[in-house]
Amino acid sequence: MTSRPAYRRVLLKASGEALMGEQGFGIDVSVADRIAADVAEARAMGVEVGIVIGGGNIFRGVAVASAGGDRVTGDHMGMLATVINSLALRTSLNKIGVEAVVLSAIAMPELCESFSQRQATAYMDQGKVVIFAGGTGNPFFTTDSAAALRAAEIGADALFKGTQVDGVYTADPKRDPTARRYERITHDEVIRGGLAIMDTAAIALARENNIPIIVFSIHEKGGFGAILRGEGRGTVVSDAS
């Protein structure tokens, strides 16, 4: 018998790089399918799921600025990359029978619907997976900030941050073998410690809206569902005791 999930409505944030798999660029369809399967498992548990995915596997806006280009244009290009990834993930969900819709912060009606908070919550109430594309729709804001914003707008019980490692560590565990993983940590401790799990604006927005952040490995098959059942391995960022 499946355990009762710890959260009713969640926002899953995954990096665009996660979709690359072992490739150096673009989308590995098998990875998109695996993430879709994890989301389907959560839906089968009765959890309502919203998703924000980055675009770094295709384009990073900050790369334009660092090379002397226009940051605003670069960020707009990065937003388009998130739309590509969102459409790919929707395809992976649809082909396994999970209803999913893409809502974009940038109007492009030929490809997907435009974002509105009212429509997003309506779709989630209907049991559909909602994929939020185009970041916040504004330059200078990361998709981490978009994830925290959308989590607040849909009334998410938690924000799940899928990363390259299985939680928040005192240092990069791939470089420092003595790094220690936190089981729990507060939003303020993350900010004060400069722990690079999300940008400061995203952490602050989650804190202000009392949204816990669960950091886990996006690469572990079934990891999303395991944590929803109160199992699995990750770090909870929360001010609640």
Position 3 in a domain:
no
pLDDT value for 241: 60
pLDDT value for 232: 84
Report the CATH number at residue 232: 3.40.1160.10
Q: Is a pLDDT exceeding 90 seen at residue 240? A: no
- What digits encode the pLDDT tens for the residues 69-106? 788 999 999 999 999 999 999 999 999 999 999 999 99
- What is the average per-residue pLDDT within 46-54? 97
Q: Which residue's structure tokens are 């916040």?
A: 136
Position 110 in a domain:
yes
Q: Is a pLDDT exceeding 50 seen at residue 205? A: yes
Name the average pLDDT for the chain: 92
Number of structural domains, the chain? Answer: 1
Position 29 in a domain:
yes
Q: Residue 227: CB partners within 8 Å, gap ≥ 6?
A: 6, 160, 214, 216, 233, 234
Position 111 in a domain:
yes
Q: What percent of the chain has pLDDT over 70?
A: 98
pLDDT value for 3: 62
| Whole-number Å distance between alpha carbons of 86 and 54 | 9
pLDDT value for 67: 77
pLDDT value for 138: 96
Position 81 in a domain:
yes
Position 1 in a domain:
no
Position 223 in a domain:
yes
Q: Is a pLDDT exceeding 50 seen at residue 1? A: no
Q: Write the secondary structure of the chain as one string of H (helix), E (strand) and C (coil).
A: CCCCCCCCEEEEEECHHHHHCCCCCCCCHHHHHHHHHHHHHHHHCCCEEEEEECCCCCCCHHHHHHCCCCHHHHHHHHHHHHHHHHHHHHHHHHCCCCCEEEEECCCCCCCCEECCHHHHHHHHHCCCEEEEECCCCCCCCCHHHHHHHHHHHCCCCEEEEEECCCCCECCCCCCCCCCCECCEECHHHHHHHCCCCCCHHHHHHHHHCCCCEEEEECCCCCHHHHHHCCCCCCEEECCCC
pLDDT value for 54: 95
Position 227 in a domain:
yes
pLDDT band at 174; cut points 50, 70, 90: confident
pLDDT value for 177: 86
Residue 96 structural domain: 9-237
